[in-house]
Amino acid sequence: MQEQQLISIYEDAGALLTGHFVLSSGRHSPRYLQSAKVLMHPANAGVLGGELAALVNPDDVDMVVSPALGGLIIGHEVARALNKPLIFTERKEGVMSLRRGFSLEENTRVLVVEDVITTGGSVCECMDVVRVHGGDPIEVLALVDRAPQAEGRFDVPHRTLLQLEVPSYDANECPLCREGVLPAVKPGSRGTA
Ligand SMILES: [Zn+2]
């Protein structure tokens, strides 16, 4: 699938907006990305999961593991396309862990799937948990990389469908505020999205 087709899927779902936004961090940005809004439509999730799954050879993978919550829906769709089981790691009092009776056999080849990666922190914590339980992370797949210039985030290969830098600015230093053309809006508030 072409990158423009992928971007259209996001834009049509209201998951990728262009304008002048106040992010939940309080910073301002000309772009707003909310993957949950594209994945809320099962047909989108299925198509995107199929695209990610097509990047790997099913014979190289024993199991898909995703960090909750962000990676759950897309992880499920990738697992479905590969016909492999999916388990997930989740935070318990802030610490990423494997719960719910999930376990890994020694040397299980694990594909780690996430929706959006930026610093890669959750994915790295997820891989640490996999390793502690005897699994072997072989690759990271994600829908969107928000920091494609970043290097050395993972110690295994990673691939994403979209590389999408989302710049953000301190509210006092926002060039969009300075231009004063578009008022800053919170995504999801009335009149947007
Ligand atoms: Zn601004």
Q: How distant is the alpha carbon of residue 129 from its chain centre?
A: 18
pLDDT tens-place string over residues 38-85: 999 999 999 999 999 999 999 999 999 999 999 999 999 999 999 999
Q: How distant is the alpha carbon of residue 168 from its chain centre?
A: 18
Residue partners of 183: CB distance under 8 A and separation at least 6: 20
Residue 147 φ/ψ, nearest 5 degrees: -140, 60
d(CA 151, CA 136): 21
pLDDT tens-place string over residues 126-179: 999 999 999 999 999 999 999 998 989 999 999 999 999 888 999 999 999 999
User: How far apart are the CA of 186 and the centre of ligand 1, in A?
Assistant: 11
Q: Record the pTM.
A: 0.90
User: Which candidate, 71, 189, 83, 78, places its Cα nearest to that of 126?
Assistant: 71
User: How far apart are the CA of 21 and the centre of ligand 1, in A?
Assistant: 7
User: How far apart are the CA of 175 and the centre of ligand 1, in A?
Assistant: 6
User: How far apart are the CA of 189 and the centre of ligand 1, in A?
Assistant: 16
Q: What architecture does CATH give domain 3-179?
A: 3-Layer(aba) Sandwich (3.40)
For residue 119, count other CB atoms closer than 10 A to its CB: 11
